[in-house]
Amino acid sequence: MSRNAYSFDITQLATNAVNKSYMPKEDVKQKLTLGELARYLGGKVVGDEGVIIRGVMTIDEAREGDITFIANEKYEKKLSTTRASAVIVSPKFQKAEMPCPPKADTALLIIENPYLAFARVVDLMSPEEVHPRGIHPTAIISPAAQLGQEVSIYPRVFVGERATVGDRVVMMPNVYVGEDCKIGEDTILYPNTVIYPGTIIGKRVKIHANTVIGSSGFGFAPEGGTATPVQGYFPIRQIGNTILEDEVEIGANSTVQRGALGATKIGRGTKKGSQVQIAHNVEIGENTLLIGQVGIAGSAKIGSRVILAGGVGIVGHVNVGDDVKVGARSGVTNDLPSGGTYLGYPAEPIEKMRRSQVAIHRLPAMMELLRSLKKKVAEIEKRLGL
């Protein structure tokens, strides 16, 4: 579409900073009854269905008019002290005998998955981001690039040769999109995102600030003979690309490197936290979660519905099966079959690792016992003249 068809409304952009669309919901004056929320979520109310819900808040900070939730048992005791008007809880809270019953004026919304229900309430009651449509005059768009309808291109964005940008894509300030990139509709690129040439990004993808997609992988061939010291390192050109499928989300300050040959691929619906490093030619399945500071070395293959907790490290060229869970700060050094939960370094099945930890804590006492036994054996040998 012709660039002249766009006009970037800078007044709208400035107004949005103080506009009600960015303010807490109580300023928007949207109100829902607890009964309406229960019907929306498919839950059951215990208490006053007519109580007015104006906002969502944590269980400690909630006040009258707020709804909160309990999804972790360690917070159950807060049910009797929260000032929230309503609390989303699981069916076990329908029991007549509760150790920490709610206050008389606190209603309960009973539902099978309180965490998911709370997320849906937040989505329902919180405003969506509003972006001005059009191209800011400081943006640099290649004449050979193709832009979809109703795009939002902020100041100082660069879009390179032959790049294809879908409908309603948002590029915030200082975004760089290299040549031959493809970006699907309704994708959002937050400030200072860098998309290297040849990257393919699906629909409804979110890439948060200061993230780099498609940079060169770490590949260097040592120069010199096997019997002589290394004279230097010859860079191995990384000529593959990077593919992010639909509905992927990438956290801030993260890196996904392009393939040395072929593609680095992240499957549909996978979510990646902040400060996560994905090396060249890694393949990740669908609906996998990578929590903050995860690092995955080159050519590793991660299955679908995997959860890698914070700080997990995975060596190159290993396979992690579907539905695997790996605990925080664990190190994966070998293939992991599907379905297990693993912990530690090297990562072991969690029950085995727990037994190992118990044994480690007993080592001082065991060493003391061993010394005592050796002393007694020596005394016996001395008496026997052995």
Instruction: Please give the positions annotated as active site.
Output: 280
* Beta-bridge mates of residue 171: 153, 189
H or E element in which residue 194 lies: strand 194-195
- Residue 182 in contact with residue 163, Cβ under 8 Å? yes
* Beta-bridge mates of residue 313: 295, 331
Residue type, 295: G
Torsion-angle region of 174 (φ positive above 0: left; ψ -120 to 50: alpha; else: beta)? left
H or E element in which residue 195 lies: strand 194-195
Alpha helices in the chain (DSSP H): 10-16, 25-28, 34-41, 114-125, 350-383
Residue 194 burial (CB count, 10 A):
20
- Residue 320 in contact with residue 301, Cβ under 8 Å? yes
Residue 132: which residues within 8 A CB-CB, separation 6 or more?
A: 8, 9, 10, 12, 13, 16, 152
CA–CA distance, 192 with 176 (Å, rounded to integer): 7
